[in-house]
Structure 1
Amino acid sequence: MATLIYSATMSLDGFIAGPGGDMSWLTAHIGPDPAVEDLIPRIGALLVGRRTFGGDDPHRGTEKEGKPFGGGWSGPQFVLTHHAPDVEYPDVTFVGDLNTAVAAAKAAAGDKYVNVLGASVAAQCLDAGVLDEIFVGIAPVMLGDGVRLFNHPGGKSVALERFALTYTANVTNLRLRVAG
């Protein structure tokens, strides 16, 4: 059975994208990372938010632009949106509700990970009780504003269990299980 994991790199002050969804800040923090390199082949499907799917790319202007993990991964993607585009994309399915998207992504992933990309979708998965793990790389930079890893003012407390902590020259990786 597939495991849902939310992965992102965030600034020390908690932002995964800068103002307006800017991802250019991340380029300086992409580099060799054994923990990420171990995760990528274990991903069977992506569950992606619409803003993330159509948003800025830290690989903009390179041959890696528009490719998941800079071209390090390929496979089925399920984009959660209420407004599917008229254009078709290879290996991309647009889905209108969370439960259907999660079920389809899990079926496609088999016994591998469903990698959740996008803060809003991750928060929805957490609220629905279907998010299993969080993998966050903490970059040594403070952005000051932008899109938070999780933004849920007045939300409920969520217990997490740390099970891995690794370091690279570019980031500190933290792996957590959603407890209970």
Structure 2
Amino acid sequence: MAKVVWGMIMSVDGFINDRHGSLDKLYTSFEPNDEINAAMGNTGAVVMGRNSFESTEVTDAYADDYEFQVPLYILTHHPPARHPKENADLTITFVTDGIENAIRQAKDSAGDKDVVVLGASTGQQALKAGLVDELQIAVAPILLGKGLRFFEHLDDFEIELEKTKTIETDRQVEIWYKVI
């Protein structure tokens, strides 16, 4: 059965984008190795919020060159008027009835592969609902000072984690945690 993995890259001071909403400074350190590529290759579906989905200037570009060529489930209150381009591997489903349904649909399509959750709000919703099995946190070697915090709205939650692995490259560290 599919595991649900909330994965993000963040600055050392805990931000997932800079004060202007850009991810660019974080991804300059992204350096996949064989272990990271294997984890990415084990992704069977992706769940993300509409803000994350629309962070690329042209949503049709997902079908052409997105790193995960799998079904995408976009959590939103308002689907776009025009459906974005898809291909044989990458389909896009807009889910308007909550994180639970988005995760259920993604798990159904992922089969034995993992479901990756992307985006701060979407990941926090999934974590609060008890739907996340693992956290995958890549730490970029930068202090941003301001921006959107990874764990901004988890004030009333205490969640115990168990470290399962650490992956180091020359430019970053990835830490994997099991949600207890």
What TM-score does the superposition give when structure 2 sets the normalisation length?
A: 0.89
**Take 2:19 and 2:47, find their aligned partners in 1: how far apart are those partners?**
23
4+ residue runs over 6 A deviation: none
Q: Which residue number corresponds to residue 80 of structure 1?
A: 75
* Runs of 5+ consecutive residues of structure 1 not aligned to the other structure: none
AA partner of residue 50 (structure 2): R
Q: Is the 1:14–1:149 Cα contact (8 Å) retained in structure 2? A: yes
Q: Which residue number corresponds to residue 11 of structure 1?
A: 11
Q: Is the 2:124–2:154 Cα contact (8 Å) retained in structure 1? A: no
Instruction: Report the 3-state secondary structure (helix = DSSP H, G, I; strand = E; otherwise coil) of the residue aligned with 2:27.
Output: helix
How many residue pairs align between the two structures?
172
AA partner of residue 159 (structure 1): E
1:57-72 equivalence runs, <5 A: 66-67=61-62, 71-72=66-67
Q: Which residue number corresponds to residue 140 of structure 2?
A: 139
1:82-97 equivalence runs, <5 A: 82-89=77-84, 90=86, 91-96=91-96, 97=98
Post-superposition offset of 1:28:
1.6
Post-superposition offset of 1:49:
0.9
**Take 1:116 and 1:28, find their aligned partners in 2: how far apart are those partners?**
21
The 3 A distance-change label for structure 1 pair 67 and 33 is farther
Calculate the aligned-residue CA RMSD, in Å.
1.9
Q: Which residue number corresponds to residue 45 of structure 1?
A: 45
CA displacement 1:28-66 (0-9 Å, x = unmatched): 212233332111110000001111000157xx9xxxx94
**Take 1:14 and 1:35, find their aligned partners in 2: how far apart are those partners?**
24
